[in-house]
Amino acid sequence: MAAEKIAFITGGNKGIGLETARQLGKTGVTVVLGSRDLAKGKAAAETLRADGIHAEAIHFDVTQPADYQSVYDYFDKKYGRLDILINNAGVSKEPFMAPNTTSTTSAEVLHDTFDTNFFGVIQITQTLLPLLRKSPAARIVNLSSILGSLALHADPASPIYNAKAFAYDASKAALNSFTIHLAHELKDTKIKVNSAHPGWVKTDMGTDAAPMEIPDGAKTSVRLALLPDNGPTGGYFHMEDALPW
């Protein structure tokens, strides 16, 4: 018998992705962790299973084109559908609180950042969309950042005004645009698409300087993954709060 809901979480073997899987799993969702290192993914899934969660791990590297079809084949053959896609995998090649170096940001840093944070998200979403359409009410959650907010970056009074990591910030702003456009295309379906800002969280990327613990950092993704039929789509949220684009 198929599980009530099936979720795929990219970059799900550690940090916010793993905690998102744990919290979703506690609600009865079967969680599948996408991991660049399959051994680490399997070890993470084992920790979840030890906690009574239905968890699996598959190899997925957003920079490897062959992986997209293999992920599709996995869900198609095993479940015939996908209910929740959480595009959690992301990279940063720049320090977040450093002098603004936009004029010297290299093409390599821009390409590497966009390949994972933007182009990879689009490709895996487009690949899996036929399976999401087979769900009774699919949810797509794109892990963005408050650093993707153009409104806040342009406001000298905002808390992120001096946090200008150009490649990362631009990739998240572009991701937000994808959220808006895809949600509009799917507005007459039961699929909901939203961007999530997890907060500044103590992860490898966020560092120990961050004020938020990982369990709190997963809450926004989990909420958007489990939205009811009357929930929002095409939005940009942290916890319950809408953020300015």
Which residues carry out catalysis?
A: 168
Residue 112 and residue 59: Cα distance in Å, rounded? 20
> Both tokens of residue 109?
């840093």
Residues 6+ apart with CB under 8 A from 218: 16, 19, 20, 22, 23, 198
Query: Is 97 in a helix, a strand, or coil?
Result: coil
Query: Is 138 in a helix, a strand, or coil?
Result: coil
In contact, 117 and 168? CB cutoff 8 Å: yes
Token pair 């992120």: residue: 160
Residue 39 and residue 244: Cα distance in Å, rounded? 39
In contact, 174 and 114? CB cutoff 8 Å: yes
- CA quadruple 114, 179, 202, 10: dihedral sign: negative
